[in-house]
Amino acid sequence: FFPSNEGGGSIAGNSILVYIVWFIPYISWMLLIGMDLPRRSTRKNNNNNNGEKVPKFDTVFHSLWRSGPCETFGSIFWKRPVEISRRQMQMDDYETRDLLLYMAIHAV
């Protein structure tokens, strides 16, 4: 059941390997592309008449983070004021450290 010296010879070892194979590309994709998908700020030209970006896609991170953990973890870990967290939740514009914290919790 537990990893052996042979590598790939156990359920836990194979599971960890599959998780790492998914984890690294996913974090890379989120940092390069995914963090901008649901953002409502005007970083790109996909704007409505008010100058606000119209989000086309959502991610699991964004949908979870806007439901409350942004405020909770922002105040606990980063000592971020609640008003800033609420603005981030409204605009779907989170800090990279929020994503990295989410992924660290996911890995545990």
Q: What is the pLDDT of residues 60-70, one digit of tens each?
A: 999 999 899 99
pLDDT > 90 fraction of the chain, expressed in percent and rounded: 56
Distance between CA atoms of 30 and 33, rounded to whole angstroms?
5
Cβ-Cβ contacts under 8 Å for 71 (sequence gap 6 or more) = 82, 85, 86, 89
Q: Are 37 and 47 in contact (CB under 8 A)?
A: no
pTM over 0.85: no
Q: Are 67 and 43 in contact (CB under 8 A)?
A: no
Angle between the 82-91 and 69-77 helix axes, to the nearest 10 degrees? 140
In the prediction, which pLDDT does 20 show?
Answer: 94
Distance between CA atoms of 33 and 14, rounded to whole angstroms?
28
pLDDT classification of 105: cutoffs 50, 70, 90 = very high
* Total residue length of the chain: 108
pLDDT(43) > 70: no
